[in-house]
Amino acid sequence: MGSQNVRRKKVKAVVVSQKQIADQIYDMWLETELAQDAGAGQFVAVYPHDASTLLPRPISICEVDRKAGRLRLVYRIAGKGTAEFASYGSGDTADVLGVLGNGFPIERVTGRRVVIMGGGIGIPPMLELAKELDADKHILLGYRDRDLFLQDDMARYGEVYIATEDGSVGVRGNVMDALRVHELSADVIMACGPMPMLRAIKQYAQQQGIEAYISLEERMACGVGACLGCVCRTKNVDAHSHVNNARICTEGPVFDAGEVDI
């Protein structure tokens, strides 16, 4: 996968702006030195100010502006910590640990036909991927209903196809239904989304004999590989636990779909 930044550090980031872009979905830009090392598919861990929440919250990197030294985080309110983040305004600060995880292997797919797939809150990390990827790409986005987000941002980097579970926008169903309806083909699929979607993509890729790289949305605790709270089964033996597991926060979150048992 994309190389992991072993020089991770905890820094104080400054909120540049924040807005709500869909139901329970917030879009926050942070000014931080971590932007210089961040890549598509990686994430940061943001610490709430409320000490009772204890652990940082892992949030995928949506977009990187290295020139301005900024990171864009698009996240869903899922509990006390992310609810606190949603209250931040311009000028507020947050402690952030990063850059974490292994990202998408962009160098392996340059110039090839790539289908980018994002489902739900798995859509945000696909924006920086679409931006960085120099390839013939199509972008498939899956939502529950017409409460869309980031589709216009995505459209700057490739043709966007939308699927909604209720059929209110685009194809009724999921991203795999949109793939079939639009008769799209690819050499490589790169995806992030809920586990049923990733399982379907893995099966399709195996049937078609094509490469697939998937970002696993597992709930993480420490974010640095110490607690083993976010393991998945793999073909290979993990050097840390000595079993057929990989820690999603360190070996992932992006994996070759053929290497993980999901």
Over the chain, what is the mean pLDDT?
A: 88
Higher pLDDT, 141 or 110: 141
Q: Taking residues 108-125, what's their average pLDDT?
A: 95
Residue 226 CB neighbour total at 10 angstroms = 12
Range list of β-strands (E), the chain = 9-22, 25-31, 43-47, 57-60, 63-65, 70-76, 93-100, 113-119, 136-143, 159-164, 171-172, 188-193, 211-216, 231-234, 245-247, 254-256, 260-261
Q: Which domains does the chain have, with CATH numbers?
A: 9-100 (2.40.30.10), 106-215 (3.40.50.80), 218-262 (2.10.240.10)
Q: Taking residues 57-67, what's their average pLDDT?
A: 95
Q: Is the pLDDT of residue 236 over 90?
A: no
φ/ψ of residue 95, rounded to 5: -80, 130
Q: Give the lowest-confidence range in 94-98, 139-143, 171-175, 256-260.
A: 256-260
φ/ψ of residue 31, rounded to 5: -95, 120
Q: What is the pLDDT of residues 64-101, one digit of tens each?
A: 999 999 999 999 999 999 999 999 999 999 999 999 98
pLDDT of residue 53: 80
Q: What is the pLDDT of residues 120-159, one digit of tens each?
A: 999 999 999 999 999 999 999 999 999 999 999 999 999 9
Residue 2 CB neighbour total at 10 angstroms = 20
Q: What is the pLDDT of residues 200-233, one digit of tens each?
A: 999 999 999 999 999 986 554 444 445 445 555 5
Strands 211-216, 188-193: pairing kind = parallel
pTM of the full structure: 0.88
- Residue 235: burial class (beta carbons within 10 Å; 0-12, 13-18, 19+): exposed
pLDDT of residue 146: 97
pLDDT of residue 229: 53
Burial 69-105 (b: 16+ CB within 10 A, else e): bbbbbbbbbeeebbebbbebeeeeebebbbbbbbbbb
